[in-house]
Amino acid sequence: MPVYQSSAFAFGSAEALAEAMAGPEGDCAYSRRGNPTVRTLERQVAELEGGRAALAAASGMGAISAVLLALLRPGDHVVAQRCLYGGTHAQLADLAERFGVEVERVEGGDVAAVRAALRPGRTRLLLLETIANPTCEVPDLPVLLAAARAAGAVSVVDNSLASPMLCRPIEHGADVVVHSTTKYLGGHSDVLGGAAVFADEELYATVWGRAVELGAAADPFAAWLTLRGIQTLPLRMRQHCANAELTAGRLAAHPRVRGVFWPGLPGHPSGAVAARVLDGGGGMLAFEPAGGRDAGREFVERVRVARLALSIGGVETLVTHPASTSHRELDDAELAAAGISAGLVRMAVGIEHPEDLWKDIEQALEGF
């Protein structure tokens, strides 16, 4: 697919241009409304997820913001998984403060709590993550999405950390699937992007209109880089999962590690659900080195093969300390409520040789 690095497109008649401006399916007229390279990415992501249509955005937060702002009205009730990406938490908090949206946070792994929180005819939206960031909690999507549908709520699932290779939430009943395509779809830490995939074309049209107004459009070259990344997605995901499995197992046996979170690890609270919902444990794990907050911060500064950097899903291993970065908006009580300890380290396991990575982890743990 070539890069259509054009902001506008010429037409032979005023009538043809007017028809192009009529909606999301018209010819491309202006790249904020549609671009050939971007539309190719949208079709590919929709096909991977089993959706009817998709829109690409400039970032994952652009995609989730477009969905939330298009679907929510003042006073609406939202049920949200307690452990969500920090940016999503911040967006929900802003909607609650400025527009009176009532946000009820529940444990995604507690089916009874989610069912109890849903208010038939009143709850507008259920928001979940396939694999929660950073605790790796996996909600029971088939059960929870069916409950949302029965309550008349729109269900939105962030599938960034699983990718369509490990889970396709629309197959389990989701109405909308969102992605930070920066993560596994792009896969090389060189592109920023997002996407929202829709099971229903009418819902897509509603959100598309708001996304155009917000100016959240994807750049054509960013879309092209993401298309390039998708070509190797199955190969990369297999290696991410294999490396994460080996690393999680060794961390769990390490004397200087208090706890490890990875969905495929025996004893993980979501292990049984993950075995049903996911086609692999994923490439992200989290662990708590002995020593609390200071130990977590020290570890991420000691690694050499892994890098201290934000994001997930690139070919290199990245580590962060969530309490001081992605979840810095939360105080200690809110961190604890979300299941995140002050010393927790998030590790996005790359595709390096696993022994090189493990030697690096071992030397960083020395002294705790």
Give me the percent of the chain exceeding a pLDDT of 90: 88
Q: Which of 126, 132, 86 is nearest to 109 (CA)?
A: 132
Active site residues: 32, 85, 158, 183
Do residues 333 and 346 both lie within one domain? Answer: yes
Q: What is the pLDDT of residue 10?
A: 97
- Cis preceding linkage at 24, omega within 30: no
Looking up residue 103, the CATH number of its domain turns out to be: 3.40.640.10
Domain-located, residue 1: no
Domain-located, residue 6: no
Do residues 150 and 267 both lie within one domain? Answer: no
Nearby residues of 126 by Cβ (< 8 Å), 6 or more positions away: 78, 79, 80, 114, 118, 144, 145, 148, 153, 154, 155, 156
Average pLDDT over residues 280-292: 95
pLDDT for 175-192, tens place per residue?
999 999 999 999 999 999
Domain final residue pick, 210, 230, 250: 230
Do residues 195 and 291 both lie within one domain? Answer: no
Q: What is the pLDDT of residue 151?
A: 98
Q: Mean pLDDT of all residues in the chain? A: 95
Looking up residue 295, the CATH number of its domain turns out to be: 3.90.1150.10
Nearby residues of 50 by Cβ (< 8 Å), 6 or more positions away: 168, 170, 171
Q: What is the pTM of this model?
A: 0.94
Domain-located, residue 154: yes
Do residues 154 and 206 both lie within one domain? Answer: yes
Q: What is the pLDDT of residue 177?
A: 98
Give me the percent of the chain exceeding a pLDDT of 70: 99
Domain-located, residue 215: yes
Q: What is the pLDDT of residue 231?
A: 98
Do residues 313 and 263 both lie within one domain? Answer: yes
Domain-located, residue 32: yes
Q: 292-302 and 354-365 are packed helices; what angle lies between their axes, rounded to 10 degrees?
A: 130
171 pLDDT tier (thresholds 50, 70, 90)? very high
Do residues 66 and 195 both lie within one domain? Answer: yes
Residue 85 has pLDDT above 90, yes or no: no
Do residues 190 and 80 both lie within one domain? Answer: yes
Domain-located, residue 253: yes
Q: Which of 297, 311, 301 is nearest to 350 (CA)?
A: 311
Q: Which of 71, 29, 311, 324 is nearest to 194 (CA)?
A: 311
Do residues 217 and 248 both lie within one domain? Answer: no
Domain-located, residue 2: no
Do residues 226 and 281 both lie within one domain? Answer: no
Domain-located, residue 7: no
Structurally, the chain folds into a number of domains equal to 2
Domain final residue pick, 230, 260, 279: 230
What range defines the domain where residue 171 resides?
14-230
Do residues 50 and 125 both lie within one domain? Answer: yes
Residue 45 has pLDDT above 80, yes or no: yes
pLDDT for 296-325, tens place per residue?
999 999 999 999 999 999 999 999 998 887
Do residues 54 and 190 both lie within one domain? Answer: yes
Domain final residue pick, 164, 197, 230: 230
pLDDT for 16-31, tens place per residue?
999 999 889 889 999 9
Do residues 173 and 101 both lie within one domain? Answer: yes
